[in-house]
Each structure stands twice: as structure tokens, then as C-alpha cells.
Amino acid sequence: MKAIIALALGVLISASAGIAQDAREIAREMGADTTTSVSPGTDRNGVHRDTETSLESRQHAPNLLEAAQASKAKKQSKAQRKQLLQKRESVLKERQTAAEAAVAAVKKTEMTEKMALTPAETAANEALVRKKAEKAWDVKRRKELDKIDRALKEGSDDSTEVRLHAPSLLKPK
């Protein structure tokens, strides 16, 4: 390894010959040599983090777990979905029945009062009555339908929502 043996006292004929190396040596001493991809000792200033550390396969614990209460998007079973769809259908049917009942009531009134209306007027009247009945139904029951739709969309019903619950800290005496 050590092949060179100092020959004799060398006489420096020129002032400073090593400024180029000096700058890099000083940078190495200060732990920031950028002209190499590996740092001697430890990379205390993170200069070579991009070229030195790539073998890390370990993941720290927090990365492995999601939040405690993350509700898993549970896929509904076929039976659950069918039940929800049936419920939706029956609610929609109720809406339709309510509208038809309102139209029938108006028709009955027209007949009993022997009102003379043109077919166009009758149709417009019926449409108006149907719309009004549907609106009235929406005010009362729309939320129920929305709830079913949401449950179908999200794949889970509100009642099956998984979340943390705070225990009752103060027990009744």
C-alpha cells in the first residue's frame, strides 16, 4: 500500500500547488464533500442521503396503520343491497300512490261538480295536482329516500357506521 517513501527534503519551488485538493479536503473535514457519493463515517449533514440510503425497507409504525377509527368501506352483501333496493322501490311507489290518489280525488270532484273542462285543461290540472302532491310527499318523506340512496351509494348504512365511542366517564350514582 504504502509504496512511496519520502525521498529527501523537498524544496518547494512554487508557492501553493494544492488549492484544488485543499478546498475538497476542507469540505470533507466539514462533512459536506459533494464530489463523492459516499461519506466517510456518518452523513451528519445529509449531503449524501440521495445516493447513500436506498436500502431502507423498514417502515416506521405510524405508516403501517391508518387512523384507529377509519371505517372500512364495507361492501354490502347482496341481501342487504336487495333489501335496500326493495325499500327504495316501495317508498317510490308510495310517492306515486300519493300523487295518483290526489289526481283521483280531483277527478272525483270534477265529476261530482260536473265541471266542463277541455281535455287540455283537465291534463294541465292533473299535472299540477300531481306535482303538488309529489312536493307535499317530498317535504314529509324525501329524507327517507335520500338516506336509502346514500346508503346504497356509500355501501353502508348509517346504523352500521364504525367509529370510536367515548365511554360515559361519569357513572350515575
Partner 1 sequence: MNRWSAADRKGTTGFWFAVRCVHLSLLYLLFFASYHRAFGESDNEGAYKRAVLRGQAQLEKSYVIGAAADRKAGDAKAAAKAACPEQNDALETSAKLLNDEAKRLAEEAKAFAEKALKEFTYAETIMSEHSEAIFGEGLSLLQLKEYCSAIRKIEWVRKAKGPDPETTFALGNALVNSSSVGSPELKTGIDLLGDYIRRAEASGNPQAYPNLAIAKRLKEEAEAKPKQLVLEAKRSDDEPNLALCPMPIPGKTELPFTASISSAIGYNNNVIALGRSLPLPNGVAQKSSFYNESTFALARDISMSHPASSSSGWLTDRLSLRYIFIADTFQELPTRDRLLQTISGSYQRAITPKLAGLVKISDQLLYIDQSIFSNVFSAQEALVLTLNTRWKTLLSYYLVRIDGFDPSTPATDPDGFTHRAELAQTVALIQDKDDLSPLLAFTGQYGHEWNETKGITGRFERDDLLGKLEWKGFHARNRCSFVQGITLALSDQWQPDRYTNATFSSSTSNGLFARAEETNAVVFAVSLTMWYDDSIKSASLPEGNRLETNFSYRHTTRDSNVNSKTYDQDIFLASVKFNF
Q: x/- string (CB under 8 A) for partner 1, residues 36-75?
A: xxx-xxx-xxxx-xxxx-xxxxxxxxxxxxxxxxxxxx--
| CA 32/CA 23 separation, integer angstroms | 11
Is 77 one of the binding residues for partner 1 (CB under 8 A)? no
The CA-based angle 30-32-35, given to 5 degrees, is 130
Compute the least distance from the CB of residue 47 to partner 1, in Å: 7
The CA-based angle 149-75-94, given to 5 degrees, is 25
134-153: contacts with partner 1 (CB under 8 A): none
| CA 76/CA 156 separation, integer angstroms | 6
Compute the least distance from the CB of residue 149 to partner 1, in Å: 16
22-41: contacts with partner 1 (CB under 8 A): 22-24, 26-27, 29-32, 34-38, 40-41
Written as nine digits, the cell of 142 is 324525501
Written as nine digits, the cell of 74 is 364495507
Q: Which is nearer to partner 1, 35 or 118 (CB)?
A: 35
